[in-house]
Amino acid sequence: MKKTVLAFILICAPAFAYVDPDLNAQAQAIAHRLEAAQGHEILMGAYWQQGVPQFPSTLKQPLINTFYVTGGGWDGRYIDFWGSNKERDKVISKWKNGATIIFIRPGFPNVSSAATGKDFDGTYYGLWNVTGDPVTRVLPGGADRERWLSVLDGYVVVLKDLQSRGIPVVFIPFFEGDCGWFWYGTANATQEQYRALFRDLVEYFKAKGVHNALYLYEPVLNSTATAGCEVGEADAGRYPGNDHVDILGLSLYDKTAVFDDYALRYAKLAGAAARTGKIWGQAEGGHDQEKAPMNNFWSWYFTHVLADPNARNAAFISFDDPPYYPLAGSPSYDDLRKAQDDPAFDRFTWLPKK
């Protein structure tokens, strides 16, 4: 019978070399747990954000908890962003003494002093602000290098705080960088610059004593060149290289219930993983239940995943917050509740209800 509570025991070393040669034992245990799942079970995950309705306690719970941690420090607004709010306590509570896996997805600001305009939410210097040639200006030798390093130092505080508590993380920098909507994506960064940006962060964190992080590279792998997205393979183009990536993760959203595109992108990710020897899964995504309500989405999706020769072998699948996972009363809530208890979907691993 499949276990629903994790026991992180280092039985043997994973087949791949870690990005960080000094990776601590807790993070190595996370890598081993994910590798053990690959091809055998799918660890289920969900996102957590402040001010957003949380995953219903009436359902079995996510085993992977992804936190969208924003901030930095360069302009004074985020100096104490970790210690002064509830995000830290939420991460610690979700760790549950090793029963879950923590993913951190940083919302890095555009720190370019030449940036103009506002982000979509009305704030300056946001993730979606693509003005000001930000990538060139934050790489070594760039005009805003010191600003950028102060942002990274804010995340060093986060990661080392968790490290001191024995909490390992999977860190997802510069997600969806093969498309053009974020400041570090195709609108501003050449493939070479993106690779340099990713590698620079990893090396900076290691030099600062962060040794509790596995690094996940998350492309979109669009099948068409729309929205500035590149069409390519997960281990080519912007791929930072085997020595700077521990895990491959896919960003996979849709507004229509068509599995064909899912299958194409899963095939690309699985192929890249086979060539690189990396752990892989779906790092974020889901079906927009507000724009295209679908009462049977979860049973539909799980059935297709199990039938697909690549998707069924994912080590993890994580969903974004509402409307991508259901709240009580939403169209697909009852379907997910039933699917969680259906023996046909036993390959999908959740934690028990609260």
209-228: per-residue pLDDT in tens? 999 999 999 999 988 888 89
Instruction: Check residue 12 and give its pLDDT.
Output: 46
Tell me: pLDDT of 248 over 80. Answer: yes
CA distance 341 to 334: 11
| Active site residues per annotation | 176, 284
Are the C-beta atoms of 69 and 104 separated by less than 8 Å? yes
Are the C-beta atoms of 285 and 321 separated by less than 8 Å? no
Tell me: pLDDT of 10 over 70. Answer: no
Helices (H), 102-227: 134-138, 145-164, 191-207
**If you average pLDDT over residues 176-195, what whole number do you get?**
95
Comparing 38-47, 84-93, 319-328, which segment has the lowest mean pLDDT?
Answer: 84-93
How many Cα atoms sit within 13 Å of 192 on the Cβ side? 1
Instruction: Check residue 78 and give its pLDDT.
Output: 46
Are the C-beta atoms of 176 and 219 separated by less than 8 Å? yes
Three-class secondary structure of residue 35 per DSSP: helix
Instruction: Check residue 84 and give its pLDDT.
Output: 55
Q: Which of 102, 235, 116, 229 is nearest to 161 (CA)?
A: 102
The residues that bridge with 215 in the sheet, in sequence order, are 171
What proportion of the chain, given as a percentage, has pLDDT over 70? Answer: 86
The backbone region for 233, taken as left when phi is positive above 0, alpha when psi lies in -120 to 50, beta otherwise, is beta
Comparing 74-88, 114-128, 251-265, which segment has the lowest mean pLDDT?
Answer: 74-88
Instruction: Check residue 76 and give its pLDDT.
Output: 43
- pLDDT band of residue 178 (cuts 50, 70, 90) is very high
CA distance 302 to 85: 36
DSSP state of 182: S
CA distance 12 to 31: 11
Tell me: pLDDT of 74 over 60. Answer: no
CA distance 175 to 72: 17
Tell me: pLDDT of 177 over 90. Answer: yes
Tell me: pLDDT of 3 over 50. Answer: no
Torsion of CA 170, 47, 65, 277, to 10 degrees: -40
CA distance 194 to 134: 11
- pLDDT band of residue 111 (cuts 50, 70, 90) is confident
**If you average pLDDT over residues 67-78, what whole number do you get?**
60
Tell me: pLDDT of 183 over 90. Answer: yes
